[in-house]
Chains A and B, each alone.
Chain A
Amino acid sequence: MGPHFDGPGYFHKEPIEVIHPYPAGEDRKLRSQGIDCRTRLEGIMTKKTISMLAGCCLVLGVWSSSRTWAQEASLQRKLIGKWTNQNETKGPATINITSIDSATGQLKGKYSPPSGAAAGNEFDIVGWVSSAAPVANRDNVIVISFSVSLNTYGSIATWTGFVRENKIMASSSNVRSNTGYEWDHITATYDVWTKNP
């Protein structure tokens, strides 16, 4: 019997059954030199266990890091590029997602308005991409948020939503500097972005 858990918080260790790897004479000889075979055997076993554990950890680490890397690469492939806003009332604005930081999920890119005084100009976008480990029987998505400061007008627009079936579905809000009423600075709507071929 090896060590086992006796109960919560307790670790009970029974003596290890000694298997003599050395002939009886050799055992005595080693003992006379002050070497305990049991200690030596336990040492060998511990070393073996440690190297096996280390090997397993290494394999798991490589597997999980390659999986994470593959997931990252797939996420980048999925999101980086040009997307067009399908909201007909706003016109076909485009965003060009140029980078996603693999460590922080920070997104960068450009926004091109479809019309008006700012049309033809490009504006910086900043935002985030994130996710969590998928959970069974739940709806699992990649979440995304980005915003643009349209300094032509002094307004800022933000999109917050998720990626599903090659579309970004996002609630959007726009805040304007000058309005006729105090309650009219923030407007909200819902947009769907599709990736350009």
Chain B
Amino acid sequence: MKTSLLLLACCVVVAGSFSHSEAQEISIQARLTGKWTQHYTGMTLQGAILNITSVDSVNGQLKGKWIPPSGPAGGKEFEVIGWVSSAPPREKLDNVITISFSVSLTTYGSITSYTGYFKDNKITASWFNIKPISTYEWDHISTGQDIFTKNP
């Protein structure tokens, strides 16, 4: 009798934890996949569109498309790759879902990477842009911070 109860309890715990993590996963995917608009911090420039098409539920690999708003690459679609991750929330700490993605803008030969987090339905990310041609040796990498909001 005791053994049966113990087995039953184990099953309930395992099933509970599985459905919980699965639900979390679905929730992260649902919250992240879709179109996002880039907002430059402190600038009035029109932002690009980030379309997150998938987030792998096993390894967190993110895939999508990047559509620049203007310039020679304006309107074209570029592949986006990256990661989504998280850790179990800890009390009295600020807990977020981490995210990183990058895009190779082949029109210019430049690459931009974004590293940040998802919180309050926004992606806040620090970015680095690397240019293959610059006037000075020290002028290849620029950096800043952007906020992405999800399109309705």
* Overall SS of chain B's interface: strand
Contact of B115 among A154, A174, A182 (CB under 8 A): A174
Instruction: Write out the residue numbers on chain A whose beta carbons fall within 8 Å of the beta carbon of B102.
Output: 127-128, 145, 147, 158, 160
A148 cross-chain contacts in B, Cβ below 8 A:
83
Stretch at the interface among A13-21, A46-54, A60-68, A132-140: A132-140
B104 interface residue per 8 A CB criterion = yes
Give the dominant DSSP class at A's interface: strand
Assign chain A's interface to a size class: 35 or more
A185 touches B79 (CB 8 A): no
Contact of B100 among A153, A156, A188 (CB under 8 A): A156
Cβ-defined contact, A171 with B143, below 8 A: yes
Instruction: Say yes or no for A104: interface residue by CB 8 A criterion.
Output: yes
Of the candidate stretches B17-25, B35-43, B132-140, the one touching chain A is: B132-140
Set A138, A147, A181: member contacting B113, Cβ < 8 A: A147
Complex interface: chain B residues within 8 A of A139 (CB): 133-137, 139-140
Q: Is B59's CB within 8 Å of the partner chain A?
A: yes
The 4 tightest CB contacts between A and B, nearest first, are: A154-B87, A132-B109, A149-B83, A160-B128
Specify which of B84, B89, B132, B134 is in contact with A178 (CB 8 Å cutoff).
Answer: B89
A185 lies within 8 A of B117 (CB): yes
Interface centre among B108, B130, B131, by most A CB within 10 Å? B130
**B61-106 with Cβ < 8 A to chain A:** 61, 79, 81-87, 89-90, 93-100, 102-106
Contacts of B143 in A (CB 8 A): 171, 188
List CB contacts (< 8 Å) of B29-47 with chain A: none
Q: Are A131 and B109 in contact (CB under 8 A)?
A: yes
Give the CA-CA distance A160 to B110 in the complex, in Å: 10
**A-B contact sample (9 more), CB < 8 A, given A145-B130, A177-B95:** A106-B104, A126-B81, A128-B103, A138-B135, A139-B133, A147-B82, A148-B83, A154-B98, A156-B82
Cβ of A177 and Cβ of B134 under 8 Å apart? no
Cβ of A126 and Cβ of B132 under 8 Å apart? no
The answer to whether A156 and B136 touch (CB under 8 A), given A106-B79, A145-B111, A186-B116, is no
A151 touching B60, Cβ below 8 Å: yes
Contact with A along B117-152 (1 / 0, CB 8 A): 100000001101111111111011101000000000
Complex contacts, B141 vs chain A, CB 8 Å: 160-162, 171
* A118 interfacial by beta-carbon distance below 8 Å: no
